[in-house]
Amino acid sequence: MTTDTKRENGGRDKRGRFVTGCAGGPGNPHLKHLASLQSAVRDAVSPDDLRGVLRKLVALAGSGDVHAARVLLDRCLGKPNPEARHIAFELPSLGSSSDILAAFVAVAQSVASGELAIEDAGQIGRLLEGVTKAREATEVEERINALEAAVAAKGGHR
């Protein structure tokens, strides 16, 4: 493919894929600047400087500075994952589409009355959406099986 042909079609072949020799995009324009800033920080801070800062942070944390302790632990151990919370929420039976709708209504009413936090309601809503999708997939599968059985009973091909 000639250079002119590459320019005409944006450097792509008939299927829309980039052709060999086609230069990539500009990438992240801020990455070069960020790399130069990081390099400047590394050049300005010696390992001894860093050790001194860490010693001070450890001393502050040891003397009861909660913020220093949090920074130190977050940097050394990583930030803690939020613990899974267990909430008690009684759902109605989920055997039919109307039951799932009733469950969504119960969740909304619990949020409105202040019994359930909106974040918890969101989690329950996602669970109910999963139940709904699984129910729909099961119904589609049952319909397909029934249609295939009907076709087979009439002597049709599968």
- pLDDT tens track for 63-91: 999 999 999 998 888 887 777 677 788 88
Nearest to 129 by CA among 151, 100, 152: 100
- Which residues, at least 6 apart from 3, have a Cβ–Cβ distance to it below 8 Å? none
Residue 68 backbone dihedrals phi, psi, to 5 degrees: -65, -40
SS3 of 80, please?
coil
- Quick: pLDDT tens for 1-42: 555 555 567 778 888 888 887 776 667 888 989 999 999 999
96 token code pair? 């039919």
Same domain, 108 and 149: yes
Same domain, 72 and 101: no
Is 104 part of a structural domain of the chain?
Answer: yes
Is 64 part of a structural domain of the chain?
Answer: yes
Q: Which residues form the domain of 125?
A: 97-153
CA–CA separation, 158 and 155 (whole Å): 9
Is 26 part of a structural domain of the chain?
Answer: yes
Domains: count for the chain? 2
- The DSSP letter of residue 21 is T
